[in-house]
Structures are given as structure tokens and as C-alpha cells.
A and B are shown apart, each in its own frame.
Chain A
Amino acid sequence: AQSVTQPDIHITVSEGASLELRCNYSYGATPYLFWYVQSPGQGLQLLLKYFSGDTLVQGIKGFEAEFKRSQSSFNLRKPSVHWSDAAEYFCAVGAMTSGTYKYIFGTGTRLKVLA
């Protein structure tokens, strides 16, 4: 069955440090890949998405993600974290399952930023 794994439940980084959030998926083909961010008390906002082409994708707020087919991964990165990046991050895939497309979300990674 299709699945999305975010192995890190919590991550803490210092402001200005680099960040990498991991995402692995299980799917027979290349799915559509998304990263969303959820700030406290807010809905989810799209950071970036990958459909095809260049495997390094740029998103909003200085985030980027790299698709690695061989590792079934789509890790999110940011070179220098800001305090306002503290939030929960969700990786998601859009994939065909049982004859229809659906979205599958990971369980999320909560980011804490130290001043």
C-alpha cells in the first residue's frame, strides 16, 4: 500500500542553522509530491511541489526540496532557519490507488527554532 513516512517527529534547530526534514514514500511509480507547512492555529499552506523535470524544486519562504527516485525520498531543506519557521511540516503524495487518485500525508515533523 502507498505510504508516506516522516521519520522525525520533532526537530530542534538554532536560528540561522541549516535544516533538512526527511520524507520517504512507498509507491510503484513516481507520485506527485508536496510539502505543506502548518503554523500554530492555521491551516496547511503549500511550500512546494514536484511533478516532473528538475529534481531540485524551489518553494516559498526560502525552502527547497530534492526528489531522489533511487531513495524514494523528497527531503525538504532550508539553508538558514528563521524563528518564524517554527511550525509543523507535512509531506504528502498524490498517487493512484484503487483506480483513483488520492492524497496521502505523512504524520508530520514539528520544528522548534531556538533563538
Chain B
Amino acid sequence: EAQVTQNPRYLITVTGKKLTVTCSQNMNHEYMSWYRQDPGLGLRQIYYSMNVEVTDKGDVPEGYKVSRKEKRNFPLILESPSPNQTSLYFCASSFLIGSDEQYFGPGTRLTVT
């Protein structure tokens, strides 16, 4: 089954404790992206990747890191999480950028206390 998986689905952590949210897709997509969803703000792009070893900042990259060492995986790293990073995070992938539909993971709800 074609899908985007994210882990964990729920995470409660404390300020400053490094964490990684994994994202994996099995569709051989070139493009992958991370979004955060906050009430009233819709989806805002954090980082995206157009291919292996090619990543770039989205609209709200501060406090986040990503890597793309393999085509299928695109982990999101919070080196020192803060309460303002409490949010719902989505990973997405697509064949092409901008002109193709994105496939979304189920989301990761992160709470930073």
C-alpha cells in the first residue's frame, strides 16, 4: 500500500530534550516536506527536500533540522525543543514539486512542556 508513515504519532517531552520525528514513504517520491499545523494558521512549511542530500528551508524553519540521506526517509529533528513548538506535524511527499498532489502522513502531535 502506498503510504507515508510517521513516528511517533504522539509525543510529550520537556524543553531542551532533543527529539526526532521519523518520516518514510514507499512511493519513490523525489519531493518530501514537513509542515506544522496550528489553529487558525493552517499548514506552514518547515523544510522540504527535492532529492537525496538536497534540502531547503520553508516558511518556519527556526528551531528545526532535517536530513535526507535516503530517498524514502526524511526525519525532522528538534535539537532543543521549546513550548512554542507544540504543534501537529505532518510529513508529505510527491513525485513533483508544486504540480503534483502531496501524500500526507497521519501526523505527529507534539507537546513540549
- The A/B interface has a contact count, at CB < 8 Å, of 59
Stretch at the interface among B61-69, B76-84, B104-112: B104-112
Q: Assess whether B106 is in contact with A103, with CB atoms less than 8 Å apart.
A: no
Q: B38-59: which have CB < 8 Å to A?
A: 40-45, 48, 56, 58
Q: A52-92: which have CB < 8 Å to B?
A: 90
B97 within 8 A of A: yes
Instruction: From B35, B92, B97, give the contact of A100 (CB < 8 A).
Output: B97
A9 within 8 A of B: yes
Given contacts A43-B105, A44-B104, A103-B33, contact A90 B99 (CB under 8 A): no
Q: How far is the CA of A51 from the CA of B33 in the complex (A)?
A: 21
* Size of interface on A: residues with Cβ below 8 Å to B: 26
Q: How far is the CA of A6 from the CA of B45 in the complex (A)?
A: 18
A96 to chain B, nearest CB (A): 7
**Prevailing SS type, chain A contact patch:** strand
B80 to chain A, nearest CB (A): 27
Instruction: From A46, A49, A90, give the contact of B43 (CB < 8 A).
Output: A90
B15 to chain A, nearest CB (A): 26
Q: Assess whether A102 is in contact with B45, with CB atoms less than 8 Å apart.
A: yes
A73 to chain B, nearest CB (A): 18
Q: Assess whether A32 is in contact with B99, with CB atoms less than 8 Å apart.
A: yes
A25 within 8 A of B: no
Given contacts A43-B90, A44-B90, contact A49 B101 (CB under 8 A): yes
Instruction: From A6, A103, A108, give the contact of B102 (CB < 8 A).
Output: A103
Q: Assess whether A95 is in contact with B98, with CB atoms less than 8 Å apart.
A: yes
Q: Assess whether B107 is in contact with A94, with CB atoms less than 8 Å apart.
A: no
Give the residues in chain B near A6, CB-CB below 8 Å.
42
With A102-B58, A105-B44 already in contact, 4 other A-B pairs whose C-beta atoms are closer than 8 Å? A32-B98, A103-B98, A105-B42, A108-B42
Residues of chain A having any CB pair with chain B under 8 Å: 6, 9, 31-32, 34, 36, 41-46, 49, 51, 90, 94-96, 100-103, 105-108
A-B contact list, 27 entries, CB within 8 Å: A9-B40, A31-B98, A32-B98, A32-B100, A36-B104, A41-B107, A43-B4, A43-B105, A43-B106, A43-B107, A44-B90, A44-B92, A44-B104, A45-B104, A90-B42, A94-B97, A96-B98, A100-B97, A101-B97, A101-B99, A102-B48, A103-B45, A103-B102, A105-B35, A105-B43, A107-B42, A108-B42
